Amino acid sequence: MSDTYTLYNQTVMDHFLNPRNMGDLDNADGVGEVGAAACGDIMKISLRVEQGRIQDARFKTFGCGSAIASSSMATELIKGRTVEEALSFTNQEVVNALGGLPPVKIHCSVLAEEAIKAALEDYLKRHPAAAKPPGGP
Amino acid sequence: MRVYLDHLATTPVLPEVFEAMKPYFTEAFGNPSSLHQHGLRVRDALAEARRRIAALINAESPEEIFFTSCGTEAANLAVKGVAYANQRRGNHLVVSATEHPSVLSSVEFLEKQGFTCTRVGVDAEGWVDPEAVRAALTDQTILVAVHHANHDIGTIQSINEIGRITGERGIAFFVDATTSGGWLPIDVQAMGANLLSLSPHRFYGPKGAGVLYRNRRARLVSVLHGGVQENGRRAGTENVPAIVGSGVAAEAARVELPQRIAHTGRLQRRLWTALRERIPYIQLNGPEPGPRRISTSLNLSTEFIEGEGQLLLCDLNGIAVASGSSCVSKSLKISHVLAAIGLDHALAQGNLILSLGKDNTDTEVDYVVETFAGIVAKLRGMSPMWDEFQRGIIDSVINPTGRGRSFAEHAAAVSGKGAG
């Protein structure tokens, strides 16, 4: 690839060409699907949660190279976090982990954050007990 | 394998074009405005280039050929130059909705200065009805601008009919032929064109030169002010090597035109026929290959996947293509041509533009079909839309099954706003 020019940096290209965690989860505990009004991209994230911790995450994305890379990276970052930690996940973590995105593509990382939040909301709706603050009745 | 399928963006210069240009960088470096030997020598070279361009488009006289820096400058000169020259006569312009941005943006600029414009819509294949142009004319109309072939979807316009209408009314008619120049026969007299632009780098000439044809029936003022180069219509020292190269490219195009049309037309059919057989839920935008479509272009929409990903994977497999998807544009908007033909947003998102040239081969076309089929399968495997289509949650636009809601409804539901 040394004599190849690329539209995105190496990390983004790697996650686009070799996406991590691509697919769906059978019997997922939470699923979020969101669309970007700006460009029309659509992202879907499925989560498996055990004892309040995200054990597995999968994505499917209809979108450009940076949208696919953003969802790939987001699922990598979110795995192993507790639901509470994951609720404060931000798109900036995705941008940083990818080594930056072109300004016009930052919204792709926002879409990844929104997809994760939507999947977490779905999980909390299905598991109301998990939404109770720790130490509560 | 490396396959270049972006000839609508630009082409390589012909070897004879490059050879012809070389002396004008070194020993024949003179400024054509100079009165000594150096200047007089290159003046002759410019005159020869003008004759060759005039011959390509059947202009009455080489004096009707003006050189600019590019096709965009030629369009700016035509639109603004005619508007300013005729502003005492009227202030109304008529253009098609699918003109190149160099025309549409020039018109927007003029609108801020008090000119008005009617943008004539197109049908689902991008065709401008000459009668719709006639209906748009007012007693204030001073310019009609319609492109010869569309830069995006390849539609060939009924230029001769429009030229008859503008001719009857004595209104200046500008034809943007930057997509068709070197690829379709052009006869400015039969077209009834008063102005016509060419972009030589799209037909194996160099970048850095554009052409504006203008006959005496269209008044034109300069928009670039300075010296009296190009008969006072375009100030600035001429880009002599590029102009010489453009002349050689025009001569080659004139001689080779029938073979170029036949060759690219055959490959166009081969490519589209194979893609349609190989890939489900794919459609061609613009007219079918044939007399209503330029032989070089295929504008495709592949459903359930997005265009930039297709473009990137094509590129990494050696195939150079373009896309009109919103993800490819800096403005995040789909191509204005795809919007004008009323293409569903989902299909516009999956857009890819393949443009053939004289040196593409059957082997290359077959490689593109095989490779692209694999790319579509890979991206559909990643797409939630493909999965949801399989499960009957959303329906196909290209081949509706009657199950599930539309992509647009689905996108609106998950984003909370309408897509696009």
Q: Which residue has the tokens 């009857």?
A: B168
Band (B414; pLDDT cuts 50, 70, 90): confident
Examine the pLDDT at B417 and tell me if it is beyond 50.
no
Confidence (pLDDT) at B356: 98
* % of chain B at pLDDT higher than 70: 99
Band (B419; pLDDT cuts 50, 70, 90): very low
Kindly determine whether residue B382 and residue A19, on different chains, have CB atoms separated by under 8 Å.
yes
Sequence-ordered list of residues with C-beta below 8 angstroms from that of B84, at least 6 positions apart, any chain = B221, B223
Confidence (pLDDT) at B420: 35
Q: Measured between CB atoms, does B419 come within 8 Å of chain A?
A: yes
A64 is catalytic: no
Count of beta carbons in the 10 Å neighbourhood of residue B42 = 23
pLDDT tens digit at each of 137 positions of chain A: 457 788 999 999 999 999 999 999 999 999 999 998 777 899 999 999 999 999 999 999 999 999 999 999 999 999 999 999 999 999 999 999 999 999 999 999 999 999 999 999 999 999 988 776 555 44
pLDDT digits (tens, 9 = 90+) for A46-71: 999 999 999 999 999 999 999 999 99
CA distance A56 to B207: 53
Confidence (pLDDT) at A46: 97
The mean-pLDDT minimum among B9-18, B247-256, B323-332 falls in: B323-332
Distance from CA of A62 to the nearest CA of B (A): 5
B314 is catalytic: no
Band (B321; pLDDT cuts 50, 70, 90): very high
Band (B328; pLDDT cuts 50, 70, 90): confident
pLDDT digits (tens, 9 = 90+) for B353-364: 999 999 999 999
Q: Parallel, antiparallel, or unpaired for β B210-214 and B297-302? A: unpaired
Closest Cα partner for B298 from B238, B335, B236, B352?
Answer: B352
CA distance B232 to B218: 15
Q: Which of A73, A108, A116, A124 is catalytic?
A: A108
- Identify the residue with better confidence: B419 or B170: B170
Sequence-ordered list of residues with C-beta below 8 angstroms from that of B113, at least 6 positions apart, any chain = none
Kindly determine whether residue B387 and residue A4, on different chains, have CB atoms separated by under 8 Å.
no
Examine the pLDDT at B418 and tell me if it is beyond 50.
no
Averaged over B331-340, what is the pLDDT? 90
Distance from CA of B383 to the nearest CA of A (A): 5
Cα-based torsion angle of the residue sequence A117, A119, A125, A128 in order, rounded to the nearest 10 degrees? -80
pLDDT digits (tens, 9 = 90+) for B16-37: 999 999 999 999 999 999 999 9
Q: Which of A13, A39, A97, A131 is catalytic?
A: A39
**DSSP element (H, E) containing B300:** strand B297-302
Kindly list the residues from chain B whose CB atom is less than 8 angstroms away from the CB atom of residue A34. Answer: 414-415
Confidence (pLDDT) at A132: 64
CA distance A61 to B57: 49
Distance from CA of B335 to the nearest CA of A (A): 12
Confidence (pLDDT) at A6: 87
Whole-complex ipTM: 0.91
* % of chain A at pLDDT higher than 70: 92
A52: left (phi over 0), alpha (psi -120 to 50) or beta: left
- Assess contact for B198 and B78: CB atoms under 8 A: no
pTM for the predicted model, two decimal places: 0.94
Confidence (pLDDT) at A136: 46
Work out how many CB contacts closer than 8 A connect A with B.
82
Mean of the per-residue pLDDT values for chain B?
95
Closest Cα partner for B5 from B380, B252, B286, B310?
Answer: B310
Averaged over B239-266, what is the pLDDT? 98
